[in-house]
A and B are shown apart, each in its own frame.
Chain A
Amino acid sequence: MDDTIEARARALLSRPVTRRDALKLGAHGVVLTGLGSLTASFLAACSANPSASGGATAAGASASAAPAGGSVSVITWESEHPKKALEAWSKATGITVNATYMSDSPDPLTKLQAGGLGQIDVVVAYNGFVDVMHGAGVLQPIDTSRLKNYGQLFKQFQHAPWQMFDGKDWGVPQSWGGFPLVYDGDAINNPPASWLDLKKPEYKDKIVMVDDAIGHVLIFGKALGFDPPNRITREQLDQIIEWLIELKKTNARAVALGGELADLLARHEAAIVYGQGEEVLVNARAKGVNAMLGAPREGGFSWVDSYCIAKDAPNLDAAYAFIDAAIGEDARLETATTYGTANEKAAARLPAEMQRVWAYDKLDALAQYGAFPEDSSGGFVSLDDVQKAWERFKAA
């Protein structure tokens, strides 16, 4: 193992990670996994600056068929953007990366629809939103044979079903994360064995709920027996929301942004939190909390972020070259201390402890469910219905 990488990874497990833009949270989509919390998912969402990639080079990227010079315009999450590796790649190829950071998942769609077509080359979309952007006609299919590093992706991420339409690829996975239940082992002797146990009186005023509409509806919809939880009726959605309102009123201390969860545990303002990603566990431990991962029997869920190429991308060759570099081993290793990486070679270079926590051996259970319907014409609630129901929950 690369000593530098190992040292960096171990350092992550023992020291705070920079807080990620909290707005990512509610916007991130999700996919139920069948993974239990211990095995589940990971990763996550927060932490703003990707760690420096010790030894990161442009090797993988420069080996690809990159055009000489030019630029590529990218809309991405800042915390998923492997800046150091791409800087080296830019020097090697002469391609300038003009990155704009998004504040929520719909950002790229909004920008593309508001005159961005023909200006923007690459955008990032989570598994549930690739479908939406494809439906909105703002993407173009991707020829994965032009990506030299595509074969380095875990097989579960190659030609993944949530981004295959008309037999073509419309996204290239790069990062993924989860929704774990984390508790303070010094304050909680009997952690909840089910998500529904959170209502037990023993947890009164000890829970902080994360501000995440989709995550709540999927998790608690599954726990309440609505399967698949992304295909539920209005009545079922109402049942979920009413259950959550009752949980909030009886046992919750607050509804907080995901980026605050570790701090809340550290300040003893919460004993149980959930959502955001296993980074909550890592960060809470770094702050001296005896943080533990819960294992609700219903499991958790996860999201997967992919690079997509915008329709009418003005720098198509550079866009392919960029994606190839950004999914490469060194680039993805740069962010693998914060998120799950789609690159198998990068994951193999992580310390065993991080591989265990991230549960890289359970990737088959990843991305079980996709997005909510775009509208409710099919009898199931739409994503907008879920968001409005969440507003009702927050106002209650």
Chain B
Amino acid sequence: MRAPASGSEVPQVGGPALSDVLIETDASVGGRRDVLLAVLGSAPVVVVGGLFLLGGALSLGLISFWQVRRYEIVPLWTLANYVEVLTTYLPVMIWTLVVATVVALLTTVASFPFAYVATFRAGPRREVLVFLLLLTIFSGYLVKVYAMKTVLGAEGLVNSFLMSLGVIREPLSFLIYSPSAVIMTLTNTLIPLAVLPLFAALQNVPYSLVEASKDLGAGRWKTLRYVTLPLARPGIVSAFAITFVLAAGDYVTPQLLGGKSGLMVGQVIASRFGVALDWPVGSALAFTTVAASLLVIWLFAWGTRVAMARRP
């Protein structure tokens, strides 16, 4: 059995929630030198983030309230872009959120066992597993999407295998060029990105608590449900959030595998910015998507907190 991942003390009964204990940080940082180091250390991120992320967001935020005249953006204030988003593009927005939610849930659920095994069961091979996982990230996003075509296509691995077994006579057409193909591909692509925060969160779960739960008579599933999962909740929320945002903003996968339906908002944003030169509506779509995504993520975080707060 693996030793505890950290040397955290077991909190006493009646004390603060376990997850609260574990996310506490050492607030004893002090001294001018530490402050200076903190400022200098964070400066690159602050500068780059401020200039390119915040600056870009502010710029697009302004543009989302402006208009286009003769292919040129003019600073004439209007709310029409947001009205158009909430009328013309509402069905696309809702569909995108549904697909992204399904992808994020599937990805998070599918990733958890790997992260759990790597943390608690793999022993010294843990690093190898994580390295192999990281290798899949190196393969590139587009390559993965095209690889899925060879798996899901009419003459792909799945159809060929099923036909060779005699399970089907003709290729299953829904496997590719359909919303299910988009969901499967995004899930496959995003799993490594979900495993990492889960792995990090599980690293912080004191194994002594898991053992204590079992010593007190809780079974494997009860321990998972009432000890491991609540302690890993920050990682679960992070995994969901990362995969949700990436799925909601993706436009390549639905373009290549979405078939004849299932337009997603990323495709519309790309079209508005690129082909249509309509940056104001594109920006309004982007900000509305961000707001809607934050809402979904908050709902997930709130839901998991409520669900995991229940006592046995």
| Residues A17-40 near B (CB distance < 8 A) | 23, 26-27
Task: Check A205–B173 contact: CB distance below 8 A.
Answer: yes
Provide the residues of chain A in CB contact with B255, threshold 8 Å.
211, 257
Task: Check B274–A106 contact: CB distance below 8 A.
Answer: yes
A211-B255, A267-B154 given; A254·B275 CB < 8 A = no
Give the Cβ gap from A244 to chain B, nearest Cβ, in Å. Answer: 11
Chain A residues within CB distance 8 Å of chain B: 23, 26-27, 103-107, 109-110, 113, 132, 135-136, 205, 209, 211, 213, 248-249, 252-257, 260, 267-269, 374-375, 383-384, 387-388, 391, 394-396
Chain A, residue nearest B91 (CB): A395
Nearest 10 CB-CB pairings of A with B: A254-B177, A395-B263, A394-B263, A387-B276, A254-B259, A104-B274, A106-B277, A248-B260, A269-B154, A255-B260
Provide the residues of chain B in CB contact with A267, threshold 8 Å.
153-155
Give the Cβ gap from B77 to chain A, nearest Cβ, in Å. Answer: 20
A268-B154, A394-B267 given; A253·B275 CB < 8 A = no
Give the Cβ gap from B283 to chain A, nearest Cβ, in Å. Answer: 14
27 A-B pairs with CB atoms under 8 Å apart are A23-B274, A26-B271, A105-B275, A106-B274, A107-B274, A113-B73, A132-B71, A135-B71, A136-B70, A136-B71, A205-B173, A248-B260, A248-B261, A253-B259, A254-B258, A254-B259, A257-B256, A269-B153, A269-B176, A375-B70, A383-B276, A384-B278, A388-B276, A391-B92, A391-B263, A395-B261, A396-B261
Q: Is B268 an interface residue (CB 8 A)?
A: yes
Q: Is B72 an interface residue (CB 8 A)?
A: yes
Q: Is B25 an interface residue (CB 8 A)?
A: no
Q: Mark B136-180, 1 if CB is under 8 A from A, else 0.
A: 000000000000000001110000000000000000010011000
Interface residues in B, total, Cβ within 8 A: 29
Provide the residues of chain B in CB contact with A105, threshold 8 Å.
275
Tell which of A103, A136, A387 has the most Cβ of chain B within 10 Å: A387
Chain B residues within CB distance 8 Å of chain A: 70-73, 88, 91-92, 95, 153-155, 173, 176-177, 255-256, 258-261, 263, 267-268, 271, 274-278
Provide the residues of chain B in CB contact with A388, threshold 8 Å.
88, 276
A394 to B153, CA, bound (A): 21
Give the Cβ gap from B259 to chain A, nearest Cβ, in Å. Answer: 5
Chain B, residue nearest A104 (CB): B274
Task: Check B155–A395 contact: CB distance below 8 A.
Answer: no
Give the Cβ gap from A305 to chain B, nearest Cβ, in Å. Answer: 16
A378 to B72, CA, bound (A): 20
A375 to B260, CA, bound (A): 29
A254 to B255, CA, bound (A): 10
Provide the residues of chain A in CB contact with B72, threshold 8 Å.
113, 136
CB-contact partner of B274 in A27, A252, A391, under 8 A: A27
Task: Check A260–B256 contact: CB distance below 8 A.
Answer: yes
Chain A, residue nearest B178 (CB): A254
